[in-house]
Amino acid sequence: MSTHLNWGLLSTARINHRLIPAIRAAKRAELVAVASRSQTRATDYAAEWDIPRAHGDYQALLDDPEVDVIYVPLPNSLHADWTVRALEAGKHVLCEKPLALTVEDCDRIIAAADAAGVVAMEAIMVLYHPLHHQARQLIRDGAVGHVKVARSSFSFFLDRPDDVRWEPTLGGGSLWDLGSYPVSLIRWLLGEPDEVFGWQTLSDSGVDEAFTGLLRYDSGVLGSFDCGFQEPFRSEAEVAGTEGTLRIQRPYPISSTSRLLLRKRGTDDEQVITQAQEDAYQCEVEALTAAVLDGAPLAVPLTSSRANVAALTALYESTRRGEPQTV
C-alpha cells in the first residue's frame, strides 16, 4: 500500500501558485511533475518551482508511471475531456471548478472514475475548509431557527482583456468563474433548489460580466446571489431565519479575515465564531489524499458537483428563456 501520492500539474496555469504550496504542505503528498504544451515552457516552469520532471505535452504527464494524481487547472471547456483522459489512464484527478460545463460531461467523468476505480474530485476548496463545515452545522443545529433566506455575493475587477474568462469558447463568464461559489455554498448550506431564475449583463466578448440569480425551494426558502467581473472585490454570505442571522465574513477565498458572525433575534450583538487558520487549498489536497489512501468519503462527492453544474446550466437557460427553470 502506498503511503503518499505523487502529484502532476496539467499546465502552468496561474492558479498553480495556490496549489503548489498546498501540495508541499500536505503530509502525504509530493509534487513530482508538470506538463505544458511546449517542452521549453515546461522545463522553465519546473526550474522556477523546483519540480523534478517536466513534460512537453499533456499526454506525457498522463503516461508518467510515477504520477498518481493529476491536477487539472485548464480553461473550463477543457475540464471534462482531460479529466476523463486522466481517469482512463488510471490517475486520480483534482479538477478545478466547475467540474464541467454540462451535466452530460459530469456523467462522463463519474462513469470514467467508476470504471477505473479511481478518485475524481472538484477543486471547490472552500467547502473543504472547517469554516463552512461549522456554518452548516450551526444552521442544522437551529442557530438561526427556521431558515427563510440566504444570500451571497462574489465579485472582483477583471482588468486583463486577454484573460480566458472573457472567452466564450473556453467557458468564460462570471457565473462559471465566480457565481459557482455562491451557488455551491447556498446548496451546501440549504440543499438542492427546486427552481432557479437568472439575469445577466453581457460583455463585449459575449460572456456574462455580471450575473444575478434566485434559487427557490419548495419549502418556501429563497436564495439569492450576484457575481461580476466589473466591480470591486466583494465576498460575503448570510443566512437568516426565524431566530437569528449567520453572516460569513469573506467566504471566498477564505483568508485570515474569514469568520462567522451569529446574531440572535432581538439583539444587535454578534457572536464571533473563529476557526483555526487553515489553508483551504491544503484542505482539499488532504481530502483527496484521505479518499485515496484511507477510503474516506469526500465532503463534496461528484454527485454534488454534478448538481452544481445542473443549477448553473439551469440559471444560464433561464436567462435565455426569460423564465424560471427547474433543476
Please check whether residue 22 is in contact with residue 279, taking contact to mean a CB–CB distance below 8 angstroms. Answer: yes
Active site residue 97: yes
State the Cα–Cα distance between residues 241 and 102, nearest whole angstrom.
33
Residue 276's pLDDT is 79
Please check whether residue 293 is in contact with residue 138, taking contact to mean a CB–CB distance below 8 angstroms. Answer: no
Cis peptide bond upstream of 301, omega within 30? no
Residue 275's pLDDT is 78
pLDDT tens track of the chain, all 327 residues?
A: 679 999 999 999 999 999 999 999 999 999 999 999 999 999 999 999 999 999 999 999 999 999 999 999 999 999 999 999 999 999 999 999 999 999 999 999 999 999 999 999 999 999 999 999 999 999 999 999 999 999 999 999 999 999 999 999 999 999 999 999 999 999 999 999 999 999 999 999 999 999 999 999 999 999 999 999 999 999 999 999 999 999 999 999 999 999 999 999 999 999 999 877 899 999 999 999 999 999 999 999 999 999 999 999 999 999 999 999 999
Residue 230's pLDDT is 96
The one catalytic residue in 27, 91, 97, 148 is 97
State the Cα–Cα distance between residues 23 and 40, nearest whole angstrom.
24
Residue type, 105: D
18 burial type by CB count under 10 A (0-12 exposed, 13-18 middle, 19+ buried) = middle
The terminus-to-terminus CA distance of the chain in angstroms comes to 41
The structure's pTM equals 0.96
Phi/psi of residue 191, each to 5°? 100, -170
141 burial type by CB count under 10 A (0-12 exposed, 13-18 middle, 19+ buried) = exposed
Residue 183's pLDDT is 98
State the Cα–Cα distance between residues 73 and 79, nearest whole angstrom.
8
Cα atoms in the Cβ-side hemisphere of radius 13 Å centred on 249: 14
Residue 266's pLDDT is 93
Residue 1's pLDDT is 61
| 224 three-class SS | strand
